[in-house]
Amino acid sequence: MEQLKTTAEAERKLLLQTTGLSIGYKQGRNNLKEVATGLNLEMFAGEVICLLGPNGCGKSTLLRTIAGLQETVLGTVEIEGTELGQLKPALLAKKISMVLTDNVRSGDLDVYSLIALGRYPHSGWLGRLTTEDKSVIDQAILSTATGEFVDRKLATLSDGESQKVMLARAIAQDTPIIILDEPTAHLDLPSRIQLMRLLHRLAKDTKKAILISTHELDLALQVADQIWLMQAGGHMATGLPEELVLNGSFAEAFNKDGIMFDPATGSFNMHASGVKSITVNGDGTAAFWTRKALLRKGFHISGAQKESLAVTVLENAGQPRWTLEKDRKITTYHTLRDFLKNVNLIEPT
């Protein structure tokens, strides 16, 4: 058992490590604003890390500091054992590639040229591409499925497409670490899921360490091997997503003004908890959505059976049926709409 553990540990290759890192930015000439202190973080090969936290807590500052775009205030960042400050910009560009929130406005650039720019740290002084460069670019295009629009101009791409292209550029840079700053920000839901799945697969297939800052809590919980949870004031909690849910870090980080993180569902409950309690029996899809509807109507869903109000959702040959039990009086409804209308009329006891 002990033997097994040590080999597993050895396989987790440490790519980046921060020790006692303080981050911040300059405000004016001599005014340094620290946003977080004492950060000890680790990034391993083949892992997706999601950096979560409310707006303005310093996520971007942290990413930029780790990537060497911004100076550290205190402490060190080590990349594959070498301290960040010791790495020349050209060498650093071979370690970390980035997808930023910066809008690339150069509409005349075609997709292929943009992806090819990822070879910048590797190509010669005039930027001519060798056959090796070209095969890396082709691989990047293949893995991001951007092949169908390599000839198009950047200005003609949708947000989802252009985000994939920017990722392809980062992949073409061929670095062990990729850092993405809110890559899902302007995407619709399918594109978000697609991108996250792509990043997850990329980390597993190519053994890259991928750090993503995002607001997509539910997606982060699904793809992240590690979560860095940052709070306003610079407090940082790290660990497996599930650990952070179970130890209450999520609730602590996000609960404000009546918005509750529900550890049972891993999502936020935007409805104020109701005064009326109801028990919902049944566990099919219909029961799930009935719970959702009741929450929206301001009910409190109780797990206990002792409530005076209870509904049993039964699915019979794909036809759901709602059986409402109130003070031993039983009524059956055949549509959700009907059920909700009647259950809503009941006065709170």
Partner 1 sequence: MLALLVFAFLLDVALGSIHIPFKAVLGILISPDTADTTWLYIIQQIRLPKALTAVVVGCGLSVSGLQMQTLFRNPLAGPSVLGITAGASLGVALVMLSAGTITSLYSIKELGISGSWLIILASSIGAAMVMLLVVTISSSLKDNVIVLIVGVMIGNITFSIISIWQYFSAPELIKDYLIWTFGSLGGVTGDQLLILTIVVIIGTAISFVSSKLLDALLLGDNYARSMGVTVKRARLLIIGSTSILAGGITAFCGPIGFIGIAVPHLTRALFNTSNHRILIPGCCLVGTLLMLVCDIVAQLPGSQTVLPINVITALVGSPVVIWIIVGRNKLKGF
- Measuring CA to CA, which residue among 257, 245, 261, 237 is closest to residue 36? 237
CB 95 within 8 A of CB 176: yes
Q: How far is the CB of 10 from partner 1 (least distance, A)?
A: 31
Which region, judged by CB under 8 A, interacts with partner 1, from 113-121, 130-138, 197-205, 301-309? 113-121
Closer to partner 1 by Cβ: residue 123 or 279: 123
Stretch that binds partner 1, among 8-16, 91-99, 189-197, 233-241 (CB under 8 A): 91-99
User: In the complex, what is the shortest distance from the CB of residue 217 to partner 1, in angstroms, rounded to a whole number?
Assistant: 27
26 to each of 57, 69, 282, how far by Cα in Å? 16, 14, 57
From 120-128, 192-200, 238-246, 281-289, give the range in contact with partner 1 by CB under 8 A: 120-128
Distance (Å, rounded) from C-alpha 72 to C-alpha 24? 7
Which of these ranges, 8-16, 73-81, 124-132, 266-274, lies near partner 1 under the rule CB under 8 A?
124-132
The region of 86-94, 157-165, 302-310, 314-322 touching partner 1 under the rule CB under 8 A is 86-94
Nearer to partner 1, 26 or 337 (CB): 26
Q: How many residues does the chain have?
A: 349
Closest distance between partner 1 and the C-beta of residue 170, in Å? 9
Interface with partner 1, residue 98, by CB under 8 A: yes
Segment 132 to 161, residues that bind partner 1, using CB under 8 A: 153, 155
Closer by beta carbon to partner 1, 77 or else 287 = 77
Dihedral over Cα of 87, 89, 95, 100: its sign = positive
Q: According to the binding rule CB under 8 A, does residue 91 interact with partner 1?
A: yes
Q: Which residue has the tokens 């709070």?
A: 231
109 makes contact with partner 1 (CB under 8 A): yes
- Residue 108 engages partner 1 in binding (rule: CB under 8 A): yes
29 binds partner 1 (CB under 8 A): no
According to the binding rule CB under 8 A, does residue 102 interact with partner 1?
Answer: yes
Q: Which stretch binds partner 1 (CB under 8 A): 94-102, 134-142, 143-151, 229-237?
A: 94-102
What pairs with residue 333 in β-bridges?
Answer: 322
CA atoms of 194 and 146, how far apart (whole Å):
13
Specify the residue, 49 or 98, whose C-beta has the smaller distance to partner 1: 98
Rounded Cα gap, residues 292 and 262, in angstroms = 13
The residues near 300 (Cβ < 8 Å, ≥ 6 apart) are 273, 274, 275, 276, 277, 278
Only segment of 119-127, 224-232, 247-255, 301-309 that touches partner 1 (CB under 8 A) = 119-127
CA distance 48 to 205: 12
Output the CA–CA distances (angstroms, integers) from residue 39 to 62, 66, 117, 232, 246, in the order listed.
Answer: 10, 11, 33, 14, 22
Name the residue nearer to partner 1 (CB basis): 117 or 193: 117
| Contact flag: residue 31 with partner 1 (CB under 8 A) | no
Alpha helix ranges (H) inside 30-181: 59-66, 89-92, 111-116, 131-144, 159-172
- Identify which of residues 155 and 246 has a Cβ nearer to partner 1 in the complex: 155
Helix/strand/coil for 157: coil
Among 104, 198, 295, 301, binds partner 1 (CB under 8 A): 104
Give start and end residues of each alpha helix (H) in 67-216.
89-92, 111-116, 131-144, 159-172, 189-206
Q: Is 114 in the site for partner 1 (CB under 8 A)?
A: yes
Neighbours of 24 (CB within 10 A): 20
**Residue of the chain from 34, 117, 143, 297 that contacts partner 1 (CB under 8 A):** 117
Residue ranges in contact with partner 1 by CB under 8 A: 67, 69, 89-94, 96-98, 100, 102, 104-110, 113-114, 117-118, 120-121, 123, 125-127, 153, 155, 173
